[in-house]
Amino acid sequence: MSKEGEFTHTLEFKVPFLNSKQATIACKSLNPDPILKPNELEVSYVNENEVLIIKFTGSSDRVIRVAANNVIENLKTVIECFEVFD
């Protein structure tokens, strides 16, 4: 096990949207919610043109799995909004 605060594990998603507007909206919709265990995990959201990049950096597989799953669940709601309303 890693020491607390030592972030040795990373997981990075690249999600391509239709355009940069959608990627920006997705980024801004996910970004406000704080990370629940900042001492064990960091998350960053960046959009490069139409691609949203979500990077998790954490101290264990466990914290990364929990956080990543939750963020992807939320991202799917964003995408479903685009499916129906954009």
Instruction: Enumerate binding residues for other proteins (CB under 8 A).
Output: 1, 8-18, 22, 24-26, 28-34, 36-37, 51, 60-70, 72-86
Q: In which element (H, E) is residue 57 found? A: strand 51-58
CB 37 to other proteins: min, Å: 6
Report whether 71 contacts 54 (CB < 8 A): yes
> Distance (Å, rounded) from C-alpha 42 to C-alpha 59?
9
CB 4 to other proteins: min, Å: 14
CB 39 to other proteins: min, Å: 13
Q: Which is nearer to other proteins, 37 or 44 (by Cβ)? A: 37
Q: Which is nearer to other proteins, 5 or 32 (by Cβ)? A: 32
- Is residue 13 helix, strand or coil? strand
Token reading at 43: 């998350």
Q: Which is nearer to other proteins, 4 or 61 (by Cβ)? A: 61
Report whether 66 contacts 37 (CB < 8 A): no
